[in-house]
């Protein structure tokens, strides 16, 4: 479904450039759940941004069903992303002047059919444990965990083929974390693909395939049915 070929990413700075990811290749199969662990600052968010079409790799390709996402025009790319990719940002990226409900609708705010999405957005918010009295509130009135769940509802709204989540449980208590894992398992059962970065060992073990980002490379460290060690993987 997604083919990542020889992906490298460097960042330029005043004295030169630093390579963060080096020659990473990975095939992401439909309906599978991939988790990525690794110390802070190793490039996990950079990798997710690259595969989501948000950050152009320095070298290599990202193909979605043979479509090279970085060869699309800006407009076509953003359309593709809206309809196929749900992304949960590490820092949520909720817009401060929009209500909770409008933040969930945000990717579709200019769509003709947006009205029909409101009932769906409300159901999703409730499923994810956001009380109805919060729907009209601005993000500043939410706790970190509530913001995180609103960001997750936004990513799920368009029923994306692939859901890319950057540490989506970092602000959640155990009950909400487990609720989210159940919801994601349900998404996977419906054929959605999940790629998730996490620091949480139990969350990492929910994946079908567990990778660690270390020394600019993705290394497979486990599968769902095998035990694996997360030694030195957290920071
Ligand atoms: N836009 C950027 N410009 C320059 N350096 C960046 C940029 N984004 C990330 N980096 C650097 O790349 C490295 C990896 O960052 P990141 O992908 O956020 O790591 P992680 O998510 O694993 O904590 C860090 O050293 C970070 O400072
Ligand atoms: Mg990160």
pLDDT tens-digit series, residues 138-148: 999 999 999 99
For residue 55, which atom of ligand 1 is closest to its CA?
A: 1
Q: Is residue 234 part of a domain?
A: no
CB of 20 shorter than 6 A to ligand 1: yes
CB of 41 shorter than 6 A to ligand 1: yes
pLDDT at 111: 83
Ligand nearest to the CA of 89: 2
pLDDT at 233: 45
Q: Hey, what are 29's tokens? A: 């199969």
E strand map for the chain: 2-13, 16-28, 33-37, 59-64, 67-68, 85-88, 162-166, 193-197, 209-214, 217-223
Q: Is residue 166 part of a domain?
A: yes
Segment 75-84 shows an average pLDDT of 94
Q: Is residue 231 part of a domain?
A: no
Could you tell me the residue range of the domain that residue 93 belongs to? 2-226
CB of 46 shorter than 6 A to ligand 1: yes
pLDDT tens-digit series, residues 169-196: 988 899 989 988 998 999 999 999 999 9
77 pLDDT more than 70: yes
Q: Is residue 232 part of a domain?
A: no
Which mutation among 43, 58, 197, 211 tests ligand 1's pocket best, with the greatest number of atoms within 8 A of CB? 43
- Domain count within the chain: 1
Please count the other Cβ atoms lying within 10 Å of the Cβ belonging to residue 85: 24
Ligand nearest to the CA of 44: 1
Q: What is the DSSP string of 55-103?
A: S--SEEEEEETTEEGGGS-HHHHHHHHHHHEEEE-TT----TTS-HHHH
Instruction: Report how far residue 18's alpha carbon sits from residue 13's, in angstroms, rounded to the nearest whole number.
Output: 8
Q: Is residue 233 part of a domain?
A: no
pLDDT at 101: 97
The pTM of the full predicted model, rounded to 2 decimals, is 0.92
CATH number of domain containing 82: 3.40.50.300
pLDDT at 231: 52
Q: 86-100, 171-185, 204-218: which has the minimum mean pLDDT?
A: 171-185
CA-nearest residue, atom 12 of ligand 1:
43
Tokens 């069903």 belong to residue? 65
CB of 44 shorter than 6 A to ligand 1: yes
């Amino acid at each position: 479904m997604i083919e990542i070929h020889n992906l490298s990413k460097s960042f330029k700075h005043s004295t030169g450039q630093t390579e963060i990811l080096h020659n990473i290749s990975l095939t992401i199969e439909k309906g599978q759940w991939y988790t990525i662990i690794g110390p802070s600052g190793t490039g996990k968010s950079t990798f997710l941004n690259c595969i989501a079409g948000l950050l152009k790799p320095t070298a290599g390709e990202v193909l979605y069903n043979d479509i090279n996402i970085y060869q699309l025009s800006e407009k076509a790319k953003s359309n593709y992303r809206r309809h196929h990719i749900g992304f949960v940002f590490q820092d949520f990226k909720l817009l401060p002047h929009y209500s909770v409900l409008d933040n969930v609708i945000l990717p579709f705010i200019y769509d003709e059919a947006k009205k029909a999405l409101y009932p769906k957005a409300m159901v999703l918010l409730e499923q994810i444990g956001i009380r109805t009295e919060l729907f009209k509130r601005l993000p500043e009135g939410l706790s970190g965990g509530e913001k995180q769940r609103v960001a997750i509802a936004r990513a799920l709204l368009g029923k994306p083929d692939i859901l890319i989540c950057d540490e989506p449980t970092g602000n959640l208590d155990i009950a909400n974390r487990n609720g989210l894992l159940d919801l994601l398992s349900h998404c996977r059962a419906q054929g959605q693909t999940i790629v998730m970065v996490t620091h949480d060992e139990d969350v990492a073990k929910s994946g079908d395939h567990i990778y660690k980002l270390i020394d600019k490379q993705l290394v497979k460290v486990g599968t769902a049915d095998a035990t694996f060690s997360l030694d030195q993987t957290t920071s």
